[in-house]
Amino acid sequence: MKKLGFGLMRLPLQEAGDPKKIDQETLNRMTDRFLAEGFTYFDTAYPYHQGMSERAVKKALTDRYPRESFLLADKMPLYCTEGMEDYERVFQEQLEKTGAGYFDYYLLHAMSRERYEKHEALGLFEFARKLKAEGKVRHIGFSFHDTPEVLDRILREHPEMEFVQLQINYLDWDAENVQSRRCYETARAYGKDIIVMEPVKGGYLASLPEKAAELFRKADPDLSPASWAVRFAASLPGVIMVLSGMSTPEQMEDNLSYMKDFRPLTEEEQELIRRAETCIEESIAIPCTGCRYCADGCPEHIAIPELFALYNMRCRFGSFPSQASEYRELTGEKSGHGKPEDCIACRQCEGQCPQHIEIVDWLKKIAADFQQES
């Protein structure tokens, strides 16, 4: 199968800022285009778009195409399940919402040491084996956000896991907070297939500092910055799929242009990426990918990813008047969001963050920075 997968967590919207209001017509067109070019892999999950991604899959895919014409991945949410009864209830809900009948790939979602120990005791892996034995899923695996040591333990204790979904991109490859390379090497040591998430780091590697962008333009002016990131991940041995959360038809067309006839990176291109990485690292403040796991459960409804993106823009390009205006839109009474200084330091957000960002401390810094201008 072709290595580009359609990640359904950043879908086109009817209204900016409302993840539940998916632009179904645009999504249908993107689905048609994706399949027409011979790509077949779609990836959704229980919490994506606040529960609406799975329903959008039914309208775009399973209601309109023969089941055998595509591959569908879904995930068991570990943040809101407490045992066999919950696992069964959620799985049946997912089958109903997607209309899929079965899942080609089924993942235990966002596994970490704490979640592993909790759900292993509750029978989660037994449940996954049961689903496969009954033909309700074709392949079982898990997505992972923790250390290589934890990954090694899970794979050693559960060899029935067929694949691992890892966050891999050239910026996180040797980053201490993600350890992409070591997690990749651990999975490969066990002979597991790898599916890549966040190859463009939540879009961050699609919009680069000018110095890094210029390096890529000189090498090939026809290739987008995002293409280098996706090809980096897809070039790794053992990677069977690279997911891209495509929000617009334009993003899809760009991805299709270089992935329909995929060409792995050469040694010279690998060296160019290392040079670009150095340029990018100099401009990063907060390594946020915009996944929104932190924001969905915030008791103060703080727009954490949007505030982090705004702050990163300020660090990269300096301060200018429109930033203050955008800050007011994100935190004003009409926004429905709390201000960063409203944070009660419950740290549930930090427990959900795949990047292990010290969110509470950054919110304090952002509040202090923008209060100086108010």
Residue-level pLDDT at 320: 64
Q: Is a pLDDT exceeding 80 seen at residue 374?
A: no
pLDDT tens digits for range 16-32: 879 999 999 999 999 99
Kindly state the average pLDDT of the residues 345-372. 92
Residue-level pLDDT at 373: 62
- Alpha-carbon dihedral 265, 268, 270, 276, rounded to 10 degrees: -130
Residue 237 token pair: 């041995």
pLDDT tens digits for range 181-223: 999 999 999 999 999 999 998 888 998 888 999 999 999 999 9
pLDDT category at 177 given cuts 50, 70, 90 is confident
**Tell me, what DSSP letter sits at residue 308?**
H
Residue-level pLDDT at 325: 78
Nearest CA to 348 out of 305, 300, 297, 308 is that of 297
Report the distance separating Cα 301 and Cα 335, nearest Å.
10
Report the distance separating Cα 303 and Cα 308, nearest Å.
9
Residue-level pLDDT at 312: 83
- In the chain, % helix, strand, coil (3-state, to 5) comes to 50, 15, 35
Higher pLDDT, 177 or 341: 341
Alpha helices (H) in the chain, listed in sequence order: 24-36, 53-57, 84-98, 113-122, 124-133, 148-157, 180-189, 210-219, 225-234, 249-259, 267-281, 293-296, 304-317, 321-331, 348-352, 359-371
Residue-level pLDDT at 226: 96
Q: Is a pLDDT exceeding 70 seen at residue 63?
A: yes
Residue 362 token pair: 């950054």
pLDDT category at 125 given cuts 50, 70, 90 is very high
* One-letter amino acid of 261: D
Q: Is a pLDDT exceeding 90 seen at residue 225?
A: yes
Q: Which domains does the chain have, with CATH numbers?
A: 4-281 (3.20.20.100), 293-371 (no CATH)
